[in-house]
């Protein structure tokens, strides 16, 4: 299932969401300017390598700077390819604007960064011996999904399900979509652990980020924000949403 849009209109321009998308895109363009050896070194220095902290003697032999914990922060702005970047930024664009609306811009920024840090910590705990650099914003975005799950229980997601070469579109409850997504991350992390695999998808970063978003989002809501929003577009209105997040439609 590939999410296309949600049915909750934005009330304000999602400035922080677009800034985060812009920063991630600029960093990725910088990555493209590096040669393969340079990019690999860049990922090892600024991506999250769990063994760097769990096995300090190995890290020293491998040439990592000592007492440098910035990768817990910087890893969430790196991406391993176009599909990785586009998938993450697309998801942030769909779900981030509404969470930013509810929290306010600066609370949302702090929340997003905290979710990335906690997701990275979760990945470190479950893969402490991994020498593979983990990169990507998906852990922080998982926290946004967790907040969305609680804040917008009545939202619906317009979803693309390709059937061979025929695209099918469904309008699914956001709760169902996010529970299904969380279940796939949980199952993926469990099977990867049973197989002893630490590469590929950072399953536990996604799981940890989502749970952190569900639990901690309430601390980032303004005091007057106490009730869920119920105004939505229908499926026709969602197709006509302003892509810049102003809450208006191109047509009626």
**Residue 10 near residue 248, CB atoms below 8 Å:** no
Q: Does a structural domain hold residue 251?
A: no
Taking residues 11-24, report their average pLDDT: 96
CB-CB neighbours of 44 under 10 Å: 17
Percentage above 90 pLDDT, the chain: 56
State residue 228's pLDDT score: 52
Count: domains in the chain: 1
Which one has a higher pLDDT value, 142 or 251?
Answer: 142
pLDDT, one tens digit per residue, over 144-184 is 999 999 999 899 999 888 777 788 888 889 999 999 888 88
Smallest CA-to-CA distance from 121 within 210, 44, 219, 208 is with: 208
Residue with structure tokens 């998308």? 21
pLDDT digits (tens, 9 = 90+) for 43-80: 999 999 999 999 999 998 988 988 899 999 999 999 99
Domain boundaries, position 143: 2-239
Domain for residue 249, yes or no? no
pLDDT, one tens digit per residue, over 79-127 is 999 999 999 999 999 999 999 999 999 999 999 999 999 999 998 998 8
Name the token pair of 146. 């967790």
Residue 189 resides in a domain: yes
Q: Give which of 75, 78, 55, 79 is closest to 66, Cα–Cα.
A: 55
Put residue 241 in one of left, alpha, beta given phi > 0 → left and psi -120 to 50 → alpha: beta
Among residues of the chain, what percentage have pLDDT more than 70?
A: 83
Gyration radius from the chain CA atoms: 19
- Distance, in Å, from the CA atom of 126 to the CA atom of 124, rounded to the nearest integer, reads 6
The pairing of beta strand 166-173 with beta strand 2-6: unpaired
Question: Is residue 145 a part of any domain in this protein?
Answer: yes
**Cross-strand partners of 163:** 166
Mean pLDDT of 118-139: 91
- Is the per-residue pLDDT at 16 higher than 50? yes
Most confident of 94-103, 196-205, 223-232: 94-103
In a domain, 250, yes or no: no
What pLDDT is recorded for position 203? 78
245 domain-assigned:
no
Residue 84 falls within a domain, yes or no?
yes
Helices and strands of the chain, counted as H and E runs: 11, 3
Whole-angstrom CA distances from 78 to 35, 69, 155, 219 are: 15, 16, 30, 27
Domain containing residue 187: CATH number = 1.20.1540.10
User: Is residue 252 domain-resident?
Assistant: no
């Amino acid at each position: 299932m590939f999410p296309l849009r949600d049915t909750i209109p934005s009330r304000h321009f999602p400035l922080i969401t677009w800034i985060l998308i812009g920063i991630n895109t600029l960093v990725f363009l910088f990555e493209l300017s590096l040669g393969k050896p340079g990019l690999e070194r860049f990922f090892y220095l600024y991506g999250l390598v769990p063994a760097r902290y769990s096995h300090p003697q190995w890290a020293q032999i491998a040439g990592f700077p000592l007492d440098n914990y910035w990768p817990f922060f910087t890893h969430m702005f790196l991406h391993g390819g176009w599909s990785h970047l586009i998938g993450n930024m697309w998801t942030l664009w769909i779900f981030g604007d509404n969470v930013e609306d509810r929290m306010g811009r600066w609370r949302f920024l702090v929340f997003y960064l905290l979710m990335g840090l906690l997701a990275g910590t979760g990945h470190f705990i479950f893969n402490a011996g991994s020498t593979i650099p983990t990169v990507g914003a998906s852990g922080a975005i998982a926290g946004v999904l967790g907040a969305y799950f609680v804040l917008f229980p009545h939202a619906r997601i317009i979803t693309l399900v390709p059937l061979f070469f025929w695209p099918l579109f469904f309008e699914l409850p956001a709760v169902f979509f996010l529970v299904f997504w969380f279940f796939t991350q949980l199952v993926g992390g469990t099977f990867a652990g049973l197989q002893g695999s630490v590469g590929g998808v950072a399953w536990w970063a996604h799981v940890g980020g989502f749970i952190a978003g569900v639990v901690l989002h309430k601390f980032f809501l303004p005091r007057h924000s106490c009730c869920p929003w119920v105004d939505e577009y229908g499926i026709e209105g969602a197709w006509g949403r302003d892509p810049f997040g102003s809450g208006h439609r191109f047509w009626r």
